[in-house]
Structure 1
Amino acid sequence: YGSEAPPLTCFQGGYSCTDVSFRQLLVDFLEKCCGDKKHAETLADAVVQAGKTHNLNVQHYTKGSSGATHNGPLTGYMLQIFVHRSIAEDFVYPSQAMGTPINKTLKDYLEKTEKADGQARILFQPQVFLDPARVRLYHYCARPLQSCMGTDISASRGCLIRDLKQALAPMFKDPSMAGMRQRLKLS
């Protein structure tokens, strides 16, 4: 089946589809959280600025983005997701490139005699992914500083997280947090 995104190539150079508006996805999500489109646009701008400050490729998140590719060095990230075998059939399916399902169970696909060559898609369910007994997530970045959590080290992941928290802080100061929980169907 192969892959449209070989891991080593994508880890070094980055990989993304360009047929969706990442800006609109971000604004729509933030609007769902805060309940106000104008406020969501302002928050999105603050998030984009935090990314720019940390030299991240934010071109697909800016207003009027062109969809051009980013050719900076070492732009890739790797996210490894381990789903416990006991629940894998419920949340994972084997697929061809671009997510087309393969008509087999995950177990059949992985335990066949020949090499498992292809991909899998994972269906996200927050309460499952937040349980470390069922799912484990590991994140790697091609730029070593992006793996450092220290906020005292310039350009570190820790500084990025600090700046993102600051950018999104106005949304959480809103006294109607109950409204956000309702809009996100968390309560």
Structure 2
Amino acid sequence: MPNLSAMTTEDTTLSPGDLPASGIGGWLLLLAVGIVIAPINAGLSLLGIWQKVFASGLFAQLTNPADPDYNPLWRVVFLSEILFHATLMLALLVLAVLFFNHHRSVPKFYFAISLVSALFIAADFLAVRSLVPDALLLTDAMLKTLLGVAISLGVWTPYLFLSERAQLTFVR
């Protein structure tokens, strides 16, 4: 990479390849697509949980002390899932705004969302496993979610912290 500060007035022609990469391009373009889609997916997930748990009457059934499958932990699990997905959707919308405004907090905010998501998934899995020990919990949807969180933490988070493009893009 050329030393731009050492250039003289005779060196007035720079090719685009001489300048460091910045802006939403390259691999950040792929991440941008994911950041646009993520709040939509979180909203659809929230709607799915609402329909499956509340609209179906499952919440009323499993949180009723007269029901044979009653366990007070069900209320905590269901309400925490709704609260988490609603908060996640809002956090992802904030992330999208920060991302497209090139805010310097994007790498840390992205990492925080990814880490909290991973921790919530683990806690939720353990809670449901304790309530229904024989249930098949590693469904295709759960494996897809785990893969997404693994890619988020293992690929995109380091990229946001270490890549030159990300460091030159998220500066405001």
- Fold shared by both chains (TM-score > 0.5): no
Higher strand share goes to which structure? 1
Structure with the larger RCO, 1 or 2 (CA within 8 Å, 6+ apart):
2
Normalising by structure 1, we get a TM-score of 0.29
Higher helix share goes to which structure? 2
